[in-house]
Structure 1
Amino acid sequence: MDLNAIQVILVIVVAFLAGMEGVLDEWQFHQPLVACTLIGLVTGNLTLGIMLGGSLQMIALGWANIGAAIAPDTALAAVASAIILIKGGQGTKGIGTATGLAITLAVAGLFLTMLVRTISTAIVHIMDKYAEEGNWRMISVWQWIAVCLQGLRIAIPAGLLLAIPTETVRSALAAMPAWLSDGMTIGGGMVVAVGYAMVIDMMVSREVWPFLAIGFALAGDKDLTLIALGAIGLSMALMYLALEEKVSKGSGDVAAAGTGDPLGDIIDDY
């Protein structure tokens, strides 16, 4: 679909906020579920944005910065794939392809991340100089410049994608052979499953396995609505809390069977 000037500006604003939140982590605009949903909202494709964001969020759950190793760029992946999906005009059929492209874009985004962080290192030395002079105003100014660079890291690529004619994007996606588009759809689905599996591996414990199995079985029933699944999940959570309280107040052998703090057990095991 062709976007009007207001929609283009709003998408760039969302991209800018997503880039800044990649380092601030305050409002979570960089999370795929948030970024894709907002882009879908401002472009009139809210449902598509939520569906793509949900798929990408399951992947991003398994990404984390560990030491000097930087995780793939979730902000660029979310923003760029959402723009491609909307401009491609394929509807829900294009979600698989967009998800596959997002993985490539996330890895490519690492180059921009390293570039901006290298520049930020020089900015830190500039701020050190002003700190020695006691110039707090200039320290604040350069801090804002560094944060804005993070926003431009996503906003500029988003603007370039928006500048590409819609027909060009559609032609490129249509020219993609079936084996490639189908492969990206399958691969994207597998990566989603792997991301979710990584999260389960971090959280799993003896106490929560039964609930995971029950949820997995219930999810296969297509007659259950989201409200019904939510009610079942809330009921199981209340039952779990009640059992936890009984175990924590138990005596002797009952209390020794568990710590009474399942969340603490998960953290300790991790």
Structure 2
Amino acid sequence: MNILIAILCGILYFLGTSRVFYGLTQALGSPILYGLILGLIYGNVEQGLIIGGTIQLMYLGMIATGGNIPADEALAGIIAIPIALQSNLSTELAVGIAVPFGVLGVLLDQIRRTTNAYWISKADKYVEEKNYKGIFHCAITYPTILVFFLRFVPVFIITLLGANAVEYLIDALPKWVINGFNVAGGMLPAMGFAIILLIIGKKEIMPYFFIGFFAVAYLGINTMGAAVFGTCIAVLIMFNSMNKDKKGVV
């Protein structure tokens, strides 16, 4: 069972980062999708979605400037989620585990970019020879094969051995360290959400954010209730804006 899950995780990570299905890459590499799939496998869809969604929150405001990713949310999710589900870790601790793997994913992406430079130089030679099949293989076939091993192998090994290693590490670590991971894991999703608010940069939106936050924190509104209220408020704002535009035209 562990081997099959490790194989599945490796394939999911490859599909979510290889850009083979370019238009679907963002969705295929999202932690919340990993949470759904792995939650179904482990028989705990709710917890899988909670962990995946919480990890996703950390990277909401992430921008890949020039295609350079500051962190790899796909690797963070595909490693942390199965380990957390198998070891019954808390959501906060799972987020704490996910962060360093998100950083490791940047290194893997840089290796991919470096190796791609070789295929570009190889394709230049094929251009001179008018070898169109060679150009195609350098653009698609060879990089994809290399990326498969680059993405699949690390995830397969870590997922296969990770749960036992994490359980051993948690048992060995002092309690204050575990508590620190839990605190950090609880703060990081909020920081991710704050970053996206700063990127939006509209001060008039901030009051709605605080209304939603305190409604959930103090009134006990669940996620579905918050989503319904938020949708209604958004619709009201849209209608008011449309009415103002009509009055301005008249």
Shorter-chain TM-score range: 0.7 to 0.9
User: 1:53 corresponds to which letter in structure 2?
Assistant: G
Aligned residue number for residue 62 of structure 2: 63
Aligned residue number for residue 48 of structure 1: 47
| Contact kept in structure 2, 1:20 and 1:148, CA below 8 Å | no
User: What does 1:12-91 align with in structure 2 at a 5 Å threshold?
Assistant: 12-21=10-19, 24=22, 26-28=24-26, 29-67=28-66, 70-87=69-86, 89-91=87-89
Change in CA separation of 1:43 and 1:138 when aligned onto 2, cut-off 3 Å: farther
User: Is the aligned partner of 1:145 residue 2:139?
Assistant: no
User: What does 1:217-236 align with in structure 2 at a 5 Å threshold?
Assistant: 217-221=214-218, 223-236=220-233
Change in CA separation of 1:157 and 1:40 when aligned onto 2, cut-off 3 Å: farther
Aligned residue number for residue 131 of structure 1: 127
Cα distance, 1:122 vs. partner?
0.6
Distance 1:235 1:247 in 2: 18
Cα distance, 1:197 vs. partner?
0.6
Deviations 1:180-221 (A, max 9, x none): 111111112222221111101122424433432332232235
Secondary structure of 2:248's match? coil
- Match 1:201 to one of 182, 198, 201: 198
Which 10-residue stretch deviates more, 199-208 or 187-196?
A: 199-208
Which 10-residue stretch deviates more, 99-108 or 7-16?
A: 7-16
Change in CA separation of 1:14 and 1:212 when aligned onto 2, cut-off 3 Å: same
User: Is the aligned partner of 1:101 residue 2:101?
Assistant: no
Deviations 1:8-30 (A, max 9, x none): 33222212212314994633222
Aligned residue number for residue 118 of structure 1: 114
User: 2:187 corresponds to which letter in structure 1?
Assistant: M
Cα distance, 1:45 vs. partner?
3.6
Change in CA separation of 1:30 and 1:162 when aligned onto 2, cut-off 3 Å: same
Change in CA separation of 1:70 and 1:212 when aligned onto 2, cut-off 3 Å: closer
Distance 1:208 1:109 in 2: 33
Aligned residue number for residue 263 of structure 1: none
| Contact kept in structure 1, 2:3 and 2:160, CA below 8 Å | no
The size of the alignment, in residue pairs, is 248
Fraction of identical pairs, as percent: 24
User: 1:106 corresponds to which letter in structure 2?
Assistant: G
Secondary structure of 2:75's match? helix
Q: TM-score, normalising length from structure 1? A: 0.79
Gaps of 5+ in 2: none
Distance 1:41 1:130 in 2: 47
Distance 2:59 2:206 in 1: 23
| Contact kept in structure 2, 1:127 and 1:138, CA below 8 Å | yes
User: 1:77 corresponds to which letter in structure 2?
Assistant: A
Structure with a larger share of its residues in helix: 2
Secondary structure of 1:106's match? helix
Distance 1:241 1:68 in 2: 33
Distance 1:97 1:202 in 2: 27
Distance 2:152 2:44 in 1: 20
User: Is the aligned partner of 1:181 residue 2:178?
Assistant: yes
CA RMSD of aligned residues (A): 2.8
- Pick 1 or 2: higher relative contact order, CA cutoff 8 A, min separation 6: 2
Change in CA separation of 1:188 and 1:121 when aligned onto 2, cut-off 3 Å: same
Change in CA separation of 1:38 and 1:145 when aligned onto 2, cut-off 3 Å: farther
